[in-house]
Amino acid sequence: MFQIKGLDHIVIRAQDAEALVTFYCDVLGCVVERKTSPEFGIVQLRAGRSLIDIVAVDSEIGRMGGGPPGKGNRNMDHFCVRLETFDEDTIREHLKHYGVVGSQLETRYGAEGNGPSIYIQDPEGNTVELKGPPTD
């Protein structure tokens, strides 16, 4: 078993990423924390202890979610929960008990830095990232 510490980040797919970044920064007071290359297409905004990632739909990551947000297409790529601890074997055994298969373990950047991460799908097809403590 594992315990959730809190929400680490959400990832929103955007047709106009610049407009969303401006909205979240100007209207809600977020600040740009990190940008990836334009091809990868992520702008990460600090939202208190969490992050809001804005992904351009025409970027490498954005294209994975299908067409642009609108009727029939989603605009949320995934959300991430930060786990208190991260023991891959324990997590996988727990998931297996419920018939859930996780992705390959990878190190990914989140609100607290780089850390271990596994993606799973909920019953409605939403992607949930399980993220451990920072390793850097």
pLDDT bucket at 40, cuts 50 / 70 / 90: confident
d(CA 72, CA 116): 32
Cα→Cα distances 84→19, 22, 70, 90, 115, Å = 34, 32, 35, 13, 12
Q: What pLDDT digit, counting tens, does each position of 81-97 carry?
A: 898 999 999 999 999 98
Q: Render pLDDT for 54-73 as a digit per residue (tens, 0 to 9).
A: 998 888 878 877 777 776 76
Q: What is the pTM of this model?
A: 0.72
Confidence of residue 35 (pLDDT cuts 50, 70, 90): very high
Comparing C-alpha atoms, which of 28, 33, 25 is closest to residue 8?
Answer: 33
Pick the residue with more confidence: 114 or 62?
114
Q: Where are the domains of the chain?
A: 4-131
In the predicted model, is pLDDT for residue 123 greater than 70?
no
Superfamily classification of domain 4-131: 2,3-Dihydroxybiphenyl 1,2-Dioxygenase, domain 1 (3.10.180.10)
Please report which confidence band the pLDDT of residue 108 belongs to, taking 50, 70 and 90 as the band edges. very high
**Which ranges in 11-116 belong to alpha helices (H)?**
17-22, 60-63, 88-97
What tokens were used for 104?
Answer: 């390959």
